[in-house]
Amino acid sequence: MAVEKRDYIIPSVHLAEVYFSRYKEPGYLASKVEHIVQDGFYRSIELPPIENKEDRKRIEKAFLVDGCKVGNVIVWSGLYADEHGLDINATDEKVR
C-alpha cells in the first residue's frame, strides 16, 4: 500500500525565521498567524515565545476558528534563551 505525499509531508512555516527582522514587533506575528489560518495552506506553525499577552490571545483565537487546518504548533525557545542569557544544557537551574 502506497502512502500519499499529503499524508506524510506537512506544510510548515517557522515564523521567527521567515519574519526575523520583524518578529518582535507587537501584533506582527499575530497578524501573520491569522493570515496563515485564513489561507489554509500550512498545517504546522513554528513560533518564537510570544511575550505580548494580547498577541497570544489573538493567536489562540485564530487557531480556534472553524475550519482551521493548523494541527501542530511548535514554540522554539532558542531565541528567548539566547536573548536572556539562558542555557538549556546548564546544570545550574538559575542559568537554565
Q: pLDDT digit of tens for each residue in the chain (96 aa)?
A: 677 766 678 899 999 899 999 999 999 999 999 999 999 999 999 999 999 999 999 999 999 999 999 999 999 888 888 888 888 888 888 776
**C-alpha cell read off for 46:** 513554528
pLDDT at 67: 94
**C-alpha cell read off for 35:** 493570515
pLDDT at 26: 96
Residue carrying C-alpha cell 536573548: 83
Q: Answer whether residue 6 is part of any domain.
A: no
Structural domain range at position 23: 18-83
Residues 6+ apart with CB under 8 A from 65: 37, 38
* Residue 96 · residue 87 · CB < 8 Å: yes
The domain total for the chain is 1
